[in-house]
Chain A
């Protein structure tokens, strides 16, 4: 757990440079860099999430049989559901380590608005889990013999959808800090909110497979992301304030 107590002394914590503005972008990038450095030092975590994703997805052919048409039919859904579960697994540690060692309090006390810090931590979470999942998705697409022309849409839908998963998940992670059985609580709170992302995410791939335009689904995913981008750091920082109060 050494890496968990890595320096929280980044610019976000330090007061503004003499005479200058605090520099939101600077603080944002320093928090992202710090969280990514922490994630890199425990490389196993991200690898385990991807491994979980691949392993769970390979269970379905065993359960329903290796018939190709059936696998193509359920492939996009399986990829989306397992990606969603993998993101859920990683959510608990989003704020927990910082909450336990006190860094979160320092971050909250810094002049940087808490919402920006939360957004930075969420961005780091997405880079640490969402991106590896997107990178692993083509492998599962091969397992399910998805046609190659559906792959770009699948990756695009995941690129638009997984940031929303991280953003909404941050609210759940913040709300359950200090709760009894916090790890079990997060899925209960967050899964119902994930359903629209799932519907539109796999709808885009399904539409492509049926040779229909995928653009409406992708636009809905983008709209969801744009809605979550300002609102969820706001809600998550309100939740964090209550956890720290």
Chain B
């Protein structure tokens, strides 16, 4: 192990372990991400709220789907990303990975909350109740609780490093729950609609509804990327500030 460890191979994720390189990359990507996010969300909202037809059974309330479904997807996606980042931080000691996991948690919790809240608002006129103990709703609620547990643990220690490392283990343990959520519809098969998008060939959803949904999904995804870059940037700044404060205290 001579200087190979100092200059990692091209294409390895460790090239992004350098905070400076990450910050530069983030600054380059940011305007593009903002543009894509704005375009997709604006066109998705116009198509979803104005152009697409109301559902023949659910009427206008079906339009909540254009926020609800991407939120639910993102809640699952962010948890997966968090678990992947936690694994990278525990296995390769990647210095930015646990910052990314920590930065993702409140965003994912917000997505899960949004999915639950919009689902509840949709359920009132459609099912006639704010809440049913259906498998998918329940597992989304559990996912929300997992996010809250992660956030509580990450902030529970005097040493932020310890908090991030412990929370990384918790994220991986909780990750066992994510496939259960994904397949719970098939396992318990209750009130909630089975997933309509995944059918190969002929999707069960008309293209006039599919397009705004996909646009919103891309918009939500880029929105998450923007927030992630901003939050990791502020975490790096906070870390530098902490190191600088400690150093100045030591000097005195």
Contact = CB atoms under 8 A, between A and B. Distances in A.
Contact of B145 (A171, A179, A191, A235): A191
A201 to B, nearest CB: 16
A132 interface: no
A7 interface: no
Q: Which secondary structure characterizes the binding site on chain A? A: helix
Contact of A176 (B142, B156, B174): B156
List the 5 closest pairs (A to B, CB-CB), nearest first.
Answer: A179-B156, A192-B145, A189-B149, A188-B149, A175-B166
12 contacts: A180-B156, A185-B152, A188-B149, A189-B152, A191-B145, A193-B174, A232-B173, A235-B169, A238-B169, A239-B166, A239-B169, A243-B162
B184 to A, nearest CB: 10
Interface in B72-102: 90
Instruction: Indicate the member of B90, B148, B153, B174 with the most A CB atoms within 10 Å.
Output: B153
Contacts of B180: 196
Interface residues of B, number: 22
Instruction: Indicate the member of B142, B153, B162, B173 with the most A CB atoms within 10 Å.
Output: B173
A23 interface: no
Nearest to B152: A188
A68 interface: no
Given A239-B166, A239-B169, A192 B156 contact: no
Contacts of B145: 188, 191-192
Contacts of B156: 176, 179-182, 185
Contacts of A176: 153, 156, 166
A182 B12 CA distance: 38
A42 interface: no
B78 to A, nearest CB: 16
Interface string A164-193: 000010010001101111100100110111
A3 interface: no
Interface string B169-194: 11011101100100000000000000
A29 to B, nearest CB: 27
Interface residues of A, number: 25
Instruction: Indicate the member of A189, A195, A235, A239 with the most B CB atoms within 10 Å.
Output: A189
Given A192-B142, A192-B146, A238 B90 contact: yes
Instruction: Indicate the member of B142, B156, B180 with the most A CB atoms within 10 Å.
Output: B156
A188 B142 contact: no
Nearest to B143: A192
Contacts, number: 62
B169 A189 contact: no
B157 interface: yes
B14 interface: no
A69 interface: no
A235 B171 CA distance: 11
Interface of A: 168, 171, 175-176, 178-182, 185, 188-189, 191-193, 195-196, 227, 232, 235, 238-239, 242-243, 245
A242 B173 contact: no
Contacts of A243: 162, 166
Contacts of B166: 175-176, 179, 239, 242-243
Nearest to A227: B176
Contacts of A192: 142, 145-146, 149, 174, 177
B169 A179 contact: no
Nearest to B167: A175
B165 interface: yes
Given A176-B166, A178-B157, 6 more contacts: A171-B169, A175-B170, A179-B156, A185-B156, A188-B149, A189-B149
Contacts of A189: 149, 152-153, 170
B73 to A, nearest CB: 20
Nearest to A177: B166
A204 B156 CA distance: 37
A188 B144 CA distance: 12
Given A185-B153, A189-B153, A242-B165, A171 B177 contact: no
A192 B138 CA distance: 11
A238 B149 CA distance: 18
Contact of A178 (B148, B149, B162, B169): B162
B157 A175 contact: no
Contacts of A179: 153, 156-157, 166
